[in-house]
Structure 1
Amino acid sequence: MTLWYLARAAGVVAMIMFTLSASLGILTSGSRNPERRFWLQYVHRSAAATGLVLLVAHVIAVIADAYVDISPTVLVWPFASGYRPFGMVVGVLALYGMVLAAVVGAARGRLAQSEAFTKRWRKLHIAASAGWLLSIGHALLSGTDRGTPWMLAITIGCLAAVAAAGVYRARSQAERASTPLNLARVGRTR
Structure 2
Amino acid sequence: MTLWYLARAAGVVAMIMFTLSATLGLAMSGNRRPERRFWLQYVHRSAAATGLVLLTTHVIAVTADSYVDISPTVLVWPFGSGYRPFAMVVGVLALYGLVLASVVGAARGRLAGSESFTKHWRKIHIAASVGWLLSIGHALLAGTDRGTHWMLALTLGCLAAVGAAGAYRARATTPLNLARAGRIR
Please indicate the TM-score interval, normalised by the length of the shorter structure.
over 0.9
Which residue identity does 1:155 align to in structure 2? T
In 2: Cα distance, 1:93 partner to 1:180 partner: 39
Per the alignment, do residues 35 and 13 of structure 1 end up closer, same or farther by CA in structure 2, a change over 3 Å counting?
Answer: same
Change in 2 beyond 3 A, CA 1:53/1:182: closer
What is residue 141 of structure 2 aligned with on the other side?
141
Equivalent residue number for residue 93 of structure 2 = 93
Q: Which amino acid aligns with 1:113?
A: G
Distance between the aligned counterparts of 2:32 and 2:64, measured in 1? Answer: 46
The answer as to 2:69 corresponding to 1:83 is no
RMSD of the alignment, in Å? 1.3
Moved over 3 A (4+): 180-183
Give unmatched runs, 5+ long, in structure 1: 186-190
Residues 181 and 135 from structure 1, CA distance in 2 versus in 1: closer, same or farther, beyond 3 angstroms? closer
Partner of 2:50: 50
| Equivalent residue letter for 1:79 | F
TM-score by length of 1: 0.94
Residue identity in the other structure for 1:98 = L
**What is the one-letter code of the residue matched to 2:50?**
T
The answer as to 2:92 corresponding to 1:117 is no
Q: How does 1:1-190 map to 2 (within 5 A)?
A: 1-174=1-174, 175-177=176-178, 179=180, 185=185
Q: What secondary structure is seen at the aligned counterpart in 1 of 2:173?
A: helix
| Aligned partner of residue 10 in structure 1, secondary structure | helix
Shift in Å, 1:181: 5.3
Q: Report the Cα offset of residue 182 of structure 1.
A: 6.3
Please identify the structure whose Cα radius of gyration is greater.
1
| Structure 1 Cα separation of the partners of residues 39 and 73 of structure 2 | 39
What 5-or-longer segments of structure 2 have no aligned partner?
none
